[in-house]
Amino acid sequence: MIKIIKNVDIYMPQYIGKKDILIVADKILKVDKDIVIDGVEVEIIDGDGKKALPGFIDSHVHITGGGGEGGYKTRTPEIVLSDIIRGGITTVIGTLGTDGITRSLENLYAKAKALEEEGVTTFIYTGSYRVPPITFTGSIMKDLILIDKVIGVGEIALSDHRSSQPSLDELKRLTADARVAGILSGKAGKVNIHMGDGKAGLDALIEIVETTEIPITQFYPTHVNRNPDLFNQGLEFAKMGGFIDFTTSSDPVFYEEGEVKASIALKICIEKGLEDNVTLTSDGQGSLPKFNDKREFIGLQVGRVTSLYNEVRDAILDGVPIEKAIKFITVNPARILKLKGKGQIKEGYDADIVLVDEDYCINDVISKGNIMMRNKKLEKVGTFE
């Protein structure tokens, strides 16, 4: 069915005024004032008093669950569609994490396909924490070139006691393979790096950039707001032209221990002119384990995809202009990860749109042209919800 969102304030993410949005099938066909379609059935969506934002992109989600740091019973559950929709998320990148044994790439791919069938766009990373990475085909290059949903490698763990402690040469080869495969396939081919609390921080990535021809943009380190030292090093990394990512799922206790709240990190990056090199991700369904000073497991929570927009909203309420705040979860990840047709409200782009009310709360979610949530009530849920 044809849909028209009428009289809505549109953020592309830049503000372009109050206009209409014409949706045909899964695409945005036109953005203009006073759109009228005669002779066919049209569903009108009242946008008065609302703001239209591009559908949110969460490029780091453990869609098949994660964790296990406290034993088998602490393996976190798979994500469900309703959580994704409540978070205003229309594009998800799935990843494995610590556990690349009981969580398989085959399961990750199948879950991504299932979520796609249920109504959101999905991609995945090949690999997990460890090096050499697990793959579908026995080759990073083959995975990227031959498997449609694979757009990069990760999350590879560094500066973390759970890392496989890869050598510099191993990281160079892995990254070089990802780069060439990305070039050949037209994909981003990024290496998504899990950053831990280790003192080395981003040193290995910087050394590779300084001693090889691999560009700094080949890396996509996440959890960079984990502690003040890593955060400050991350800012320098971004100043060098690199991309960095801040995690929105957290716990107030972590803030007391030095983690930089994502909304605050976002604001600092804007003030320093680094807004185009930074994204936010939720680490949804990933475990948030807590270890003591002996690296012994003492507790765990689960990351939530709904935290993604919550942190953006906190930044907006703290004075960050909405068109700047939403870049971190729309146009920035779309550009960095080469997600065509994503991240903007623009003619010819996918009809992924979130409508927020005057309090910046999510009111309606449209994914691939389908209304998934209307007036804060879910219209679609997962198959087994």
Alpha carbon of 178 to those of 61, 143, 356: distances in Å? Answer: 20, 10, 38
Encode pLDDT of 166-191 as tens digits.
999 999 999 999 999 999 999 999 99
- The count of residues in the chain is 385
**Segment 227-253 mean pLDDT:** 93
What per-residue confidence (pLDDT) applies to 366? Answer: 98
CA dihedral 137, 140, 142, 143 (to 10 degrees): 70
Encode pLDDT of 7-62 as tens digits.
999 999 999 999 999 999 999 999 999 999 998 999 999 999 999 999 999 999 99
Strand-strand pairing, 2-11 and 51-54:
parallel
**Segment 284-313 mean pLDDT:** 85
Whether the pTM exceeds 0.75: the reply is yes
Cβ–Cβ under 8 Å, residues 330 and 344: yes
> CB count, 10 Å around CB of 321?
14
**Segment 286-313 mean pLDDT:** 85
Q: Predicted confidence band at 294 (pLDDT cuts at 50, 70, 90)?
A: confident
pLDDT at 68 over 90: no
Cβ–Cβ under 8 Å, residues 366 and 23: yes
What per-residue confidence (pLDDT) applies to 257? Answer: 75
Alpha carbon of 37 to those of 2, 72, 353: distances in Å? Answer: 9, 56, 20
Cβ–Cβ under 8 Å, residues 304 and 96: no
Average pLDDT value for the chain? 95
Alpha carbon of 46 to those of 23, 38, 43, 167: distances in Å? Answer: 14, 18, 10, 56
What single string gives the DSSP state of each residue in 39-76? SS-EEEEE-TT-EEEEPEEEEEE-TT--B-TT-GGGBP
At which residue do the structure tokens 């320093």 appear? 272
CA dihedral 315, 281, 192, 197 (to 10 degrees): 70
How far from chain centre, in Å, is Cα 65?
16
Token readout for 133 is 């990475």
Cβ-based neighbours of 203, under 8 Å, separated by 6 or more = none
What per-residue confidence (pLDDT) applies to 292? Answer: 77
pLDDT at 288 over 90: no
Distance from C-alpha of 299 to C-alpha of 366, rounded to nearest angstrom: 37
What per-residue confidence (pLDDT) applies to 299? Answer: 72
**Segment 83-106 mean pLDDT:** 96
At which residue do the structure tokens 């003492």 appear? 298
Token readout for 99 is 């556990």
Catalytic residues: 283
Cβ–Cβ under 8 Å, residues 204 and 158: yes
Q: What angle do CA 284, 288, 291 make, to 5 degrees?
A: 165
Token readout for 13 is 């993410």
